[in-house]
Structure 1
Amino acid sequence: MYVAHLTLHDFRSWTDLDLELGAGTTSLVGRNGQGKTNVVEAVDYLSRLSSHRVAADAPLVRTGCSQAVVRAAVVRDDRRAVLEVEINPGRSNRARINSSPLPRARDLLGVLRSVVFAPDDLALVKGDPGERRRFLDDLLVQRSPRYAGTRADYDRVLKQRNSLLRSAGVTKGSRDAALATLEVWDERLAELGTEIMAARTQLIAELTPLLGKAYEAVARGAHRDDALLTYRPSFEDAQGKVAAFVAELERRRKDEFDRGLTLVGPHRDEMLCSLGDLPVKGYSSHGESWSFALALRLGSYELLRAPTSGDADDPVLVLDDVFAELDAGRRGQLAELVSGAEQVLVTAAVPEDIPEQLRGRRLSVADGQVRDA
């Protein structure tokens, strides 16, 4: 799988961009602020309908414009399809395949898959639990796009339930009046939440051995059993049962009324990253943390390209200014591990940052133009 052509209109800094791409390695080289990361961000957005840089869509639209358009011709098994998404902040986004509108933008998910390595990846191991939950859910949706609907439904129910908890107030009368409605939301939240938790647990079980193998490859002197992932639910005895989820909601009822928040569910779960018996966060060196984050991405790449992940195609690999963050040894190790991918898109400030193993087509990005270097 690879992107053969990319067109941008009012996306980030690009008024219009029409760019031929191809299989193999393509490097975009230019000073900071020239728009090279914006190009690869657009490819990733078509894959996940979200950015690896920002949480909301508004920053993706060029200043002063109301919408942005990202369009790409994707080649898969010698078949070509044109994917398009219209980004409309504050309104529903629209998507098309071969000019045919899709009922929902999220129906585009799964057609193109990507894995992004970026400087912010350190937050996967050093950041708050929300970073790791987002990593898990993004990977889950890339493997099984139907989970995008499950996650959207869960978020909707969670929002409604939180609104009810807040509006119930602090008096016994107002709480009693809210209970009947709350119990309906409890059941639905538990059904959706249990499905998400079970899927995350299975995903971690499959990802962990791939993480270990990748960590052994990128960390000097490491063993594949060193790197571990553990799923920690927000309550004990979860065990994938709706009844246990509902029982925990009932047990935490008073606390939830007092705080006006739902305190149980996958939105409060954690993925623990460990090296041996110690968590990476707070205990590992900078180099160990970087190696773990890189191994998470490499493991994700291997998981997505495995035959058991639906269609066994190489995802598009995006290496966004990541080599500047690595020492020479890790640069070479990472380059060697990904050089055989069907398509690799690299961004760098200077050509010297790019390892020899990834010498392919080189593009210069400067002054609003992309040219062959």
Structure 2
Amino acid sequence: MHVVRLSLTDYRNYARAELELGPGTTVFVGRNGQGKTNLVEAIGYLATLGSHRVSSDQALIRAGAEAAIVRAMLAHAERELLLELQLNRKGANRAQVNRAPAKTRELPRYAHSVLFAPEDLAIVRGEPSVRRRLLDELLVQRTPRLAGVMADYDRVLRQRNTLLKSARARGLAADKLTTLDIWDERLVQFGSEIIDRRVGLIDELAGPLAAAYASIVDADHAPGLRAMLSIDGADPDAETGDPAGQPAVARELSASDAASDAASDAASDVGAQVAASGSATAQRFAEALRALRAKELERGVTLVGPHRDDVLLMLNGLPAKGYASHGESWSFALALRLASAELLRRDSATGDPVLVLDDVFAELDRARRERLAAAIGGYEQVLVTAAVLEDVPEHLVARVIRIDHGTIVSEAEAEAEAEAEAEAEAEAEAEAGSTAGGGATDA
């Protein structure tokens, strides 16, 4: 798959932009702040329903405008497909596929993209939420229906947290919160699917990750992934853990027999309902909620679920976070992106995903630049942004588009401008030489 044409209206710093693209590598060059990243960000949004730079759609709409529009013509084999997305300041966003109305969450079914960015270092060194987002974006691209499941889970989680906070403020006991059982059931229903999907994805990434890491580093550092599930006692978001190394939530789960009888009785119905479903994950989730209900009422927040899970990244048997060097951390992050692209390529009916490298080469040493360039060379379309063209390996510079103050300048236009400037300078020098020569003769 590749993007044939991209059109933006009131998106970021573009009142209007029209861009023709094609297979192969295209490099967007311009000083920082000119709008290079805005172009590739728009393509990435169609595939992931989010920006890699901001969490709110409002920042994507140009100042003074009520909506931003992104249109992309995609091509695979002999078929073309037009995707349109309208981001609104007020009201829900709207989407169209070939001019027919569609749900926005359906767009990732057609647009596949993997984006590499300087922010990717946070995949290794940052908070658990960054790693959760990496998995969820890939899941949605592979199975767009999961966007709805994740939205439903977030909605139920907000409702449940509101109820817990209200109960804490009013001093209600667990046996007085019969409605909490309903939210527990829904939370387990949606959350268990998300957990299972993430765990399955982590298993699938193992092989491609090892291959991608070796291609970038040319060494075997045994990169690995391991799911850290809050329903099994892991608590990545906890501020402190047990002095003996056991997370706080794990202590609560292991001491579940000491929880209040009221909390246990209130949650027992949910556990029974889930057990009947036959899902091991759902049963563990329900048990964790039962064990922690008293603590959740005390804190006014949901303590277990996919919103508190993490992925442990390992190198040479040690956690990459805290032990990996800067170069190793970068290599791990890049390898995860390459592994994601490989999975999308493997099971997609629309061919390769579009690879977007947003100012990444400037962050890498020469050896990693060359190895990364070699690893992505076989993909149908690669879009690269760079402040300095020399940062991009020479064999990737097939087509260059220059960006200047939100204006797209093609390479042909840039060359014409450069030639005109050179001619003007030559004429000025000739005229200056002629004037100087005439003065000498008169003397």
TM over 0.5: yes
Distance 1:40-1:78 versus aligned 2 partners, 3 A rule: same
Please list, as runs of the form range in 1=range in 2, the aligned pairs for 1:184-203 lying within 5 A after superposition: 184-203=182-201
- Is 2:113 the partner of 1:114? yes
- Is 2:345 the partner of 1:305? yes
Query: What is aligned with 1:361?
Result: 399
- Is 2:250 the partner of 1:210? no
- Is 2:164 the partner of 1:165? yes
Please list, as runs of the form range in 1=range in 2, the aligned pairs for 1:29-178 lying within 5 A after superposition: 29-102=29-102, 104-170=103-169, 173=172, 175-178=174-177
Query: What is aligned with 1:241?
Result: 281
Distance 1:312-1:63 versus aligned 2 partners, 3 A rule: closer
Contact 2:131 2:311 in 1 (8 A): yes
Distance in 1 of aligned mates of 2:7 and 2:29: 19
SS at 1:168 equivalent: helix
Distance 1:290-1:51 versus aligned 2 partners, 3 A rule: same
Query: What is aligned with 2:272?
Result: none
Pairwise CA RMSD of aligned residues?
A: 1.5
Structure 1 residues 2-58: Cα deviation after superposition (integer angstroms, max 9, x where no partner): 000000001001010011111111111000011011000011111111111111111
Larger Rg belongs to: 2
Distance in 1 of aligned mates of 2:330 and 2:208: 16
Q: Which amino acid aligns with 1:130?
A: S
Bigger mean CA offset, 281-290 vs 58-67: 58-67
Q: Which amino acid aligns with 1:228?
A: G
Shift of 1:310: 4.2
Shift of 1:237: 8.1
Contact 2:114 2:356 in 1 (8 A): yes
Query: What is aligned with 2:22?
Result: 22
Contact 2:161 2:302 in 1 (8 A): yes
Contact 2:210 2:223 in 1 (8 A): yes
- Is 2:2 the partner of 1:2? yes
Shift of 1:170: 4.9
Shift of 1:91: 2.2
Distance in 1 of aligned mates of 2:35 and 2:12: 8
SS at 1:231 equivalent: strand
Distance 1:191-1:50 versus aligned 2 partners, 3 A rule: same
Structure 1 residues 67-107: Cα deviation after superposition (integer angstroms, max 9, x where no partner): 100001110221111100000134210000111111x2112
Distance in 2 of aligned mates of 1:227 and 1:173: 48
SS at 2:55 equivalent: coil
Shift of 1:241: 2.7
Distance in 1 of aligned mates of 2:18 and 2:230: 47
Give me the TM-score of the superposition, normalised by structure 1: 0.95
Structure 1 residues 291-329: Cα deviation after superposition (integer angstroms, max 9, x where no partner): 0000000000101100xx242610000010000000000
Distance in 2 of aligned mates of 1:90 and 1:109: 23
- Is 2:368 the partner of 1:370? no
Of 282, 294, 314 in structure 2, the residue corresponding to residue 254 of structure 1 is 294
**Unaligned regions of 5+ residues in structure 1, if any?**
none
Of 328, 333, 357 in structure 1, the residue corresponding to residue 371 of structure 2 is 333
Shift of 1:172: 5.1
Distance in 1 of aligned mates of 2:214 and 2:110: 31
SS at 2:231 equivalent: coil
- Percentage of pairs with the same residue: 51
Query: What is aligned with 2:331?
Result: 291
Distance in 2 of aligned mates of 1:17 and 1:184: 49
Query: What is aligned with 1:349?
Result: 387
Shift of 1:189: 0.7
Shift of 1:240: 4.0
Of 289, 298, 303 in structure 2, the residue corresponding to residue 263 of structure 1 is 303
- Is 2:181 the partner of 1:183? yes
Distance 1:129-1:173 versus aligned 2 partners, 3 A rule: closer
Distance in 2 of aligned mates of 1:270 and 1:60: 29
**Unaligned regions of 5+ residues in structure 2, if any?**
235-278, 412-443
Query: What is aligned with 2:322?
Result: 282
Contact 1:314 1:342 in 2 (8 A): yes
Contact 1:195 1:240 in 2 (8 A): no
Distance in 2 of aligned mates of 1:134 and 1:47: 14
Distance in 1 of aligned mates of 2:56 and 2:200: 29
Question: Aligned residues, how many?
Answer: 367
Shift of 1:192: 1.1
Contact 2:168 2:299 in 1 (8 A): no
Distance 1:361-1:141 versus aligned 2 partners, 3 A rule: same
SS at 2:209 equivalent: helix
